[in-house]
Amino acid sequence: MLPVPLTIYLLWSYQDYRDRLLNSISQRLNLDLDEDSIFYKLGSSGLITFSDYIFLLTVLSTSRRHFEIAFRMFDLNGDGDVDCEEFEKVAALIRQQSSIGSRHRDHANTGNTFKGINSALTTYFFGPQLNQKLTIEKFLDFQHQLQKEILSLEFQRKQPDENGRITEADFAELLLAYAGYPAKKKARMLKRVKKTFRDHGVGITKDDYLKFFHFLNNINDVDTALTFYHIAGASIDQPTLRHVARTVAHVDLSPHVINVVFTIFDENMDGQLSNREFVAVMKNRLLRGLEKPKDTGFVKLMYSLIKCARDTKPAILDF
């Protein structure tokens, strides 16, 4: 099989990955990106393993706050840094719990040694000798860069015009990419967007796009915030969505973006988004196809962290 760039992995859904690449534990990175790119840094570090891939996929769809909690969990001795040994211990624990991890252990028995490979990720985090410490700043910066680069690549694939804008329909396609809708329903939603903005579309900038996905990464906190407003499960109108984005995710979504989002998701056209129309779907999309937590220990872990964080500290108070 030809080497596949890491970026392509991440643009695939989990299902694609599993279908195409389950039998190949690691792939050479093969990238042509500028030196500042996180992929360049990862690529010069060696191999991307399957557990790296699962980890990166999870990193992509986790809010900064939950990522901070995950870091504290990796720090077993509580000294504020994570060393390679701590990282490996937690990673091994995760692999034990995960059915994919178990399958890979089976591979290890048949000669494909899984343990002991210096993966691109461990080398990036801990240096070539694996003796450096990982700080919370480096961990968070890594997440920020990875999210920004992947989202930029996704945006770029829609070929923005000379003003750097993609059409409302392109934006809708990106949003619906991993939402798991039946093809018929997806087509109906896209048709609605095309029709609404056919004659007076103004397009979506990359900044709009990045902001909106930052908002989506906080969708679990948004859901919690709506609980605090005593309107969980109830419908929200455009000003409420804008307000919640500002107070919970700290992003200022433009009225145009919000209008497009309502056009996409307001199935019954009552001017309101119900929980079922929007929040529930977007929580699912966040997982990029990783909807079976039993397959992936790390995702299961993030789920329990998110639940734990929700129980102890309401997002709306998190300023």
Residues 212-231 that bind Ca ion (CB under 5 A): none
User: Which of these ranges, 77-85, 91-99, 134-142, 256-264, lies near Ca ion under the rule CB under 5 A?
Assistant: 77-85
d(CA 187, CA 32): 34
Residue type, 82: V
User: Which of these ranges, 27-35, 72-80, 100-108, 243-251, lies near Ca ion under the rule CB under 5 A?
Assistant: 72-80
Q: Cβ contacts of residue 57 below 8 Å, gap of 6+?
A: 10, 14, 288, 290
Nearer to Ca ion, 134 or 299 (CB): 134
Q: Is 35 helix (H, G, I), strand (E, B) or coil?
A: coil
Nearer to Ca ion, 153 or 280 (CB): 280
- Is the separation of the CB atoms in 237 and 290 below 8 Å? no
- Which one, of 305, 239, 312, 281, lies nearest residue 69 by Cα? 305
Nearer to Ca ion, 172 or 287 (CB): 172
> Taking the complex as a whole, how short is the minimal distance between the CB of residue 176 and Ca ion, in angstroms?
17
Nearer to Ca ion, 37 or 238 (CB): 238
Binding mask 261-290 for Ca ion (x = CB under 5 A): -----x-x-x-x------------------
Nearer to Ca ion, 75 or 221 (CB): 75
d(CA 119, CA 40): 14
Report the sign of the C-alpha dihedral through residues 166, 11, 302, 291, in that order: positive
Residue 77 touches Ca ion, criterion: CB under 5 A:
yes
Residue 79 touches Ca ion, criterion: CB under 5 A:
yes
Nearer to Ca ion, 106 or 270 (CB): 270
- Applying CB under 5 A, what is the total number of residues that bind Ca ion? 7
Pick from 52, 75, 170, 223: which binds Ca ion (CB under 5 A)? 75
Which residues are registered as beta bridge partners of 119?
A: 47
Q: Cβ contacts of residue 312 below 8 Å, gap of 6+?
A: none
d(CA 142, CA 144): 5
Residue 134 touches Ca ion, criterion: CB under 5 A:
no
- Could you list the residues that contact Ca ion (CB under 5 A)? 75, 77, 79, 266, 268, 270, 272
